[in-house]
């Protein structure tokens, strides 16, 4: 979704949730082949842009402090990639990232911010690129960015570049619980590689018209990165147990490379009650009731 702002046009950057995540052994280039069912939350960051002679980025929001020392934020990387792709180095914008999602949390925050920047600057600069073209450019920014350009229920394969929209996928009431610890994707994959991962088997089509069938598909799948992440950060296990124990929880999983976890509920009221019970239940725990589906 996008919305007007007094500071200029803006674009929502929704949290990315991996309902399932299978990973094969690393390729010769170090990337892992993936097969993941992905949805997006109605909770996330916001990128705002104003016309300017150059490219600049300002940070606001509760998560801004964690990014202040990052010299090449993915927002700027996406802007540079878009300018290069259309061969218009003179284009400029004054960008502002309002950071709400926790960093290094398995929620694809940086990728979502980059994707939102591509969508936003495509409008601001009147480039007329379609979603497929933006996703192609996004692949040069980061593996998860093409999926975040789409920001709708999808199956993501390859190293993230093969996108298959999920048809008739239901909205899923959920709670996202971040247990207060950051976890680097690289460290989780290193720990995963030590387990000797096997090649991915081709999966069937993912069709889910109801919450029940979506939960069944999740139960039949897995997040291959969850066991190594739990070994690295044991509080992930505590978060999963807490999510499983609240009234109305259907299934609980870790998202992405962690440390954020989530659980699915039958209705939004149950999710809201669960988030209220879990938020701040331990120091650093942050729980958010969300609707998982398409958010862009």
Other beta carbons less than 10 A from residue 206's beta carbon: 21
DSSP 209-268: SSHHHHHHHHHHS-BTTHHHHHHH-THHHHHHHHHHHSTT--EEEE-TTSS-EEEE-SSH
- Distance between CA 177 and CA 182 in Å, rounded? 13
Catalytic-labelled residue, pool 35, 45, 98, 144:
144
CA dist., res. 258 & res. 44, Å (int): 16
Q: Does 16 qualify as catalytic in the annotation?
A: yes
- Report the distance separating Cα 120 and Cα 127, nearest Å: 10
Q: 């009147």: which residue's tokens?
A: 126
Angstrom CA distances, 140 to 133, 183, 200, stand at 12, 23, 24
Q: Running DSSP on this structure, what letter comes out for residue 294?
A: -
User: Dihedral through CA 257, CA 260, CA 266, CA 272, nearest 10?
Assistant: -160
- Per DSSP, 277 falls in state H
Distance CA(94)–CA(98), nearest Å, equals: 13
Check: CB of residue 132 under 8 Å from CB of residue 147: no
Active site residue 99: no
The active-site residue, picked from 16, 35, 99, 113, is 16
The DSSP output letter for 11 is E
Q: Which residues are catalytic?
A: 16, 144
């Amino acid at each position: 979704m996008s919305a007007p702002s007094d500071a200029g046009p803006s674009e929502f950057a929704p949290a990315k949730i991996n309902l399932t995540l299978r990973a094969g052994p690393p390729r010769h280039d170090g990337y892992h082949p993936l097969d993941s069912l992905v949805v997006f939350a109605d909770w996330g960051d916001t990128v705002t842009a104003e016309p300017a002679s150059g490219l600049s980025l300002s940070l606001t929001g509760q998560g801004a402090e964690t990014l202040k020392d990052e010299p090449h934020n993915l927002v700027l990387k996406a802007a540079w990639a878009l300018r290069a792709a259309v061969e218009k180095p003179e284009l400029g914008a004054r960008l502002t990232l309002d950071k709400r999602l926790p960093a290094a949390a398995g929620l694809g925050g940086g990728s979502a911010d980059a994707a939102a920047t591509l969508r936003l600057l495509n409008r601001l600069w009147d480039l007329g690129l379609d979603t497929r073209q933006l996703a192609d450019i996004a692949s040069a920014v980061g593996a998860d960015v093409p999926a975040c350009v789409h920001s709708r229920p999808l199956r993501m394969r390859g190293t993230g570049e093969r996108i298959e929209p999920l048809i008739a996928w239901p909205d899923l009431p959920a709670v996202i619980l971040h247990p207060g610890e950051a976890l680097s994707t690289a460290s989780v994959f290193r720990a995963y590689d030590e387990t000797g991962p096997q090649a991915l088997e081709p999966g069937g089509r993912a069709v889910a018209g109801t919450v029940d069938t979506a939960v069944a598909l999740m139960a039949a799948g897995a997040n291959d990165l969850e066991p190594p992440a739990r070994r690295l950060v044991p509080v992930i296990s505590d978060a999963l147990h807490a999510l499983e124990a609240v009234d109305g929880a259907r299934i609980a999983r870790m998202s992405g490379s962690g440390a954020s976890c989530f659980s699915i509920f039958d209705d939004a009221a149950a999710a809201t009650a669960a988030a209220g019970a879990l938020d701040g239940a331990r120091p650093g725990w942050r729980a958010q009731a969300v609707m998982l589906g398409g958010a862009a």
